[in-house]
């Protein structure tokens, strides 16, 4: 995937960590990059640096809840960019 080559390792880690289930559901492939400790720590600092992301992350980890203040519903196929998706059936319910 082109994005994986252009994104910082810490951002790729965060996207895959938080969005793993959605990535798999869309038949996309997770990267095989191992996460370095410094990138893990940097990622956590990014998450807790904003009250919005800190609260969303807390609810996801501890309560398993999606954050209600999200501007878009990430699991609604109408909000996805369909360009470049290998599995056209990933958007069908």
Which of 77, 79, 81 minimizes the C-alpha distance to 93?
77
| pLDDT number for residue 83 | 64
In terms of residue numbers, what domain contains 33? Answer: 2-91
Q: What tokens were used for 14?
A: 């965060």
SS3 content of the chain, % helix, strand, coil (to 5): 60, 0, 40
Low-confidence ranges of the chain (pLDDT < 70): 1-5, 66-74, 78-93
| pLDDT number for residue 87 | 67
| pLDDT number for residue 18 | 79
Please report, for the chain, how many H helices and E strands are present, in that order. 4, 0
- For the entire predicted model, the pTM comes to 0.56
Say how far apart CA 34 and CA 12 lie, in whole Å. 11
Q: What is the pLDDT of residues 33-43, one digit of tens each?
A: 788 899 899 98
Structural domains in the chain (count): 1
Which of 3, 27, 1 minimizes the C-alpha distance to 87?
27
């Amino acid at each position: 995937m082109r994005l994986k080559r252009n994104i910082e390792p810490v951002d790729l880690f965060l996207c895959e960590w938080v969005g793993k289930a959605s990535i798999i559901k869309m038949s996309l492939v997770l990267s095989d990059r191992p996460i370095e400790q410094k990138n893990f720590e940097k990622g956590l600092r990014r998450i807790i640096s904003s009250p919005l992301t800190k609260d969303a992350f807390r609810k996801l980890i501890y309560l398993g809840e999606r954050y209600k203040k999200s501007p878009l519903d990430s699991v609604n196929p109408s909000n996805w960019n369909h360009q470049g998706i290998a599995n056209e059936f990933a958007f069908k319910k």
